[in-house]
Amino acid sequence: MTSVRAHASVLHLDLDAFFAAVEQRDKPSLRGKPVVVGGTGGRGVVSTASYEARAFGVRSAMSTREARARCPHAAYLSGRFEAYRSASAAVMAVLRDCSPLVEPLSLDEAFVDLARADLPDLEVATVSALAEELRARVHQVTGGLTASVGVASSKFLAKIASDLRKPDGLVVIEPGTELALLRPLHVSVIPGVGPATVERLKRAGVHTVEELERVSQEELVRLVGKAQGQGLFQLARAEDDRPVVADRETKSVSVEGTYEHDLTDRPQMGAIVTRQAGEVAKRLRASGLSGRTITLKVRLYDFTTLSRSSTLPAPTDEPATIARLARTLLEDLDTSGGVRLLGVGVSGLADWIQEDLFATTEPGEDATAEAAPEAEPDQAGARWRSATWAPGMDIVHAGHGRGWVWGSGRGVVTVRFETAETPPGPVRSFRADDPDLERWRPPSEEQPAEQ
C-alpha cells in the first residue's frame, strides 16, 4: 500500500518561462516584451514563450509559423544554451545547499527532499519560510529570474502545487487537504496524462480527478494499459510514495536534425548520419560512457517516423563504429519520397570506455589493422578501462594475477586484472561462454579484495 508522507517535505521548483526569461535578463530591451525562444526556421517550433507572448496565444510546442501569425511583433530567438546551462547550474547549487537530495528533471525544474534539509521541523510554516527563502536566493543568484515552487507530501502533489500560482508563486499543500484540492482538477494536470490519454478517459466519461477516482483499477488498466492504469488509480487517490532520487543515470545519448527541405539524396543522408554519429561519440566520450545499441531515426516526408536499431556484443564510443552501423541501418530503409528528419542515438550504456582495441596487442598479432573494427561476437581480448570502480564484484584468477569482474551480462564479461604489486591493469572483455573465462572462476571462499 502506497501512501504519502505525513509532512509537506517534497519541494518542486520550476523556473518561469526559463529560456525567455534568461533572454530578457541579458537584453534589457526585451523586458516587458513578447519573446519566443525556439526554432526560427520554417520547420521550427516554440520552446519557450515569455508571458507577454503567451498573452497572444503563443505556446510551447506550437510551430513558429503559427506563433509568428499570432504575435508578429515578438522577438524570435534560437536560444543560447550555454547561458541556460549556467543559470540552471546556479539554481541547482542553491537547491543542493538546502538539501543534499536534489533531483533535477530538466534545466529549469527540480525536486528537493526537505526531509534531508537542516530544518527544526517540517511544519507548514517552516517549509513555507524555507521555500520563500529559496525563491529569493534563486532570484538573487540568477540575476533576477523568478521561480514557482510547490511543497507537498509527495512528488506528484508538489509538482501540481508549483503550477497553481505561476509565475513567481508559492503553494504549500497542507497534509490532509490533498484530495480536496485534487478532486475538482482536470485529469490533464496529472503528469503523464497527455492528449492521447485525455481522449481515452474522455470516451469513458472521465474528465476530472474526482471522476477518475470512481473508476476501478481493472477498468483503468483496460483503458490505458497496465503501468499507466495502476499509476492513475493511485494518483487519483493522491497516493504517491516515489522517492526523490539524485544522480539519475543517463540511459541514452542522441543527436537529430530536421531539415528545411526534405532530403532525397542518399549520399547526403549518409554524410549527415556520419556527422551525427561523430557528435554522439564525442558526447559519449565527454561523459565517460559507451553503449551497445545504435539507433537510427528517420522521419519521412509525411511525418511517418521509423527507427532501426542494432546491438553490438560490447559497448563502443567509436565514431567510425557508430557511423558505419547507422549507415547500414539507413541502407535498409526506403527513403524515396523524402526525409525530413535524421537522427542517431546510442543506448544500452555502460560506465566503462573502450580503449584502442589494438593498443596493447600481444606480440605477433597484427597491430596494423584499421582502427575501430566493428565489434564481433568473439571479441575476446578487447581492452577496456573502467571509469568507475564498483565494489562487491567477483574475484577472478588468471595466470599472471587476479582481477575483478567489472561487468557481466548480455553475454559479455569484463575483467580487470590487478595484483598486490602492480597498479590496475587493462580491463578485458570476454564472451560469457569463453572457456578461458571458465577457468578463472573464483574459489568460493575467496573474499573481495580491498579497492
DSSP class of residue 186 equals B
Stretch that binds DNA, among 44-52, 204-212, 235-243, 399-407 (CB under 7 A): 44-52
Binding-site member from 126, 234, 309, 360 for DNA (CB under 7 A): 309
Distance CA 407, CA 64 (A): 47
What are the two backbone dihedrals, phi and then psi, of residue 249, each rounded to the nearest 5 degrees? Answer: -80, 140
Binding-site member from 25, 51, 56, 60 for DNA (CB under 7 A): 60
Cβ-based nearer residue to DNA, 67 or 357: 67
Distance CA 71, CA 56 (A): 6
Binding-site member from 177, 208, 254, 419 for DNA (CB under 7 A): 254
Mask for 126-145, x = binds DNA (CB under 7 A): --------------------
Distance CA 218, CA 13 (A): 34
Decide: is 278 part of the binding site for DNA (CB under 7 A).
no
**Catalytic annotation present for 132:** no
Pick from 283, 296, 300: nearest CA to 256 = 296
Binding-site member from 10, 22, 23, 47 for DNA (CB under 7 A): 47
Decide: is 150 part of the binding site for DNA (CB under 7 A).
no
Task: Calculate the dihedral angle through the C-alpha atoms of 17, 20, 23, 29, rounding to the nearest 10 degrees.
Answer: -110
**β pairing state of 427-431 and 412-418:** antiparallel
Rounded alpha-carbon distances, angstroms, from residue 255 to 185, 252, 298, 339: 37, 10, 12, 16
In the complex, minimum distance from the CB of residue 400 to DNA, in angstroms, rounded to a whole number: 31
Alpha helices in 39-145 (DSSP H): 51-54, 64-70, 81-98, 124-141
Distance CA 406, CA 400 (A): 18
Stretch that binds DNA, among 26-34, 85-93, 191-199, 440-448 (CB under 7 A): 191-199
Tell me the three state secondary structure of residue 242.
coil
Q: Where in 209-248 is the site for DNA (CB under 7 A)?
A: 225-228, 248
Catalytic residue among 103, 109, 318, 418: 109
Pick from 11, 258, 8, 273: nearest CA to 153 = 8
The residue whose grid cell reads 538573487 is 140
Decide: is 257 part of the binding site for DNA (CB under 7 A).
yes
Cβ-based nearer residue to DNA, 117 or 206: 206
In the complex, minimum distance from the CB of residue 360 to DNA, in angstroms, rounded to a whole number: 26
Q: Where in 279-298 is the site for DNA (CB under 7 A)?
A: 283, 292-293
Binding-site member from 25, 31, 33, 39 for DNA (CB under 7 A): 39
Binding-site member from 28, 29, 303, 391 for DNA (CB under 7 A): 303
CB 180 within 8 A of CB 264: no
Q: 5 is written with which cell numbers? A: 508522507
Cβ-based nearer residue to DNA, 309 or 419: 309
Rounded alpha-carbon distances, angstroms, from residue 179 to 3, 4, 68, 211, 242: 12, 12, 41, 12, 18
Mask for 382-411, x = binds DNA (CB under 7 A): ---------------------------xxx
Q: Which residues bind DNA (CB under 7 A)?
A: 38-39, 42-45, 47, 60-61, 63, 65, 105-109, 191-198, 225-228, 248, 250-258, 260-261, 283, 292-293, 302-303, 305-311, 340-341, 343, 345, 347-348, 409-411
* Residues acting as catalytic residues: 109
